Amino acid sequence: MFKSKMIENEKVLQYALNHQLPIVQVLLNSSIPKEQRLLCTECLDNADFEGKVIGFKKIIQMIEEQQNQKMNLMESMIIQNIKQVESFHSLISQMKSNIILQLEQLSSILKDWITNLQSIGLKYSQYSFHEELEIQSKKQQYQIQSNFIHQRHQNRIQQLFQGCIQIGVIQLILRIQQMQTNTIRSLNRYIKIRIS
């Protein structure tokens, strides 16, 4: 997946004393500036250096081995993390699909609810004078009809509430609870006004 690569080109590395000869040795002394640690044959013959000296090819090999080990470890960690992120992504995609499906089901419930309320409205918008006269004499029929509507409304709200719980839409649940409370209050006020 990844391969370690030295940024600098070996041929353009600066020599300690700028002799323009190939580097043969490297001085391992951290107190000396980096640029002065690379030594050619002339540097070795003409100067004294403190610290351990190692062959240039040997240090390149050692560095490359360390880099390869580091890259193998990093690659293993990165691959493991990528697999974990892909797993999370798959889970999120699956949840997204489920939520969309459940939201479509909730939308269908709401459309059916609207259709049902409209059909109830149509049913009760037409009346017979004789039946209404009978209802007026008993005054209980109206309350039974409004209780029927109220009960159906509560069943739909409960169905919607359960659907929201399944997908974990808390704000929608709170709005539905508020809607349920407002509906009960409105219906109770309407019943009191109508019966009075």
Per-residue pLDDT reduced to its tens digit, 105-132: 888 888 988 898 888 778 777 878 887 7
The domains of the chain are located at 10-87, 96-195
Does the pTM exceed 0.75? no
**Cβ-based neighbours of 102, under 8 Å, separated by 6 or more:** 163, 166, 167
Q: Give pLDDT, residue 100.
A: 87
Is the predicted pLDDT of residue 31 greater than 80, yes or no?
A: yes
What 8-state DSSP symbol labels residue 168?
A: T
Q: Are strands 25-28 and 38-39 parallel, antiparallel or unpaired?
A: antiparallel
What digits encode the pLDDT tens for the residues 130-142?
877 777 776 655 5
Are 176 and 110 within 8 A, CB to CB? no
Provide the pLDDT for residue 119: 86
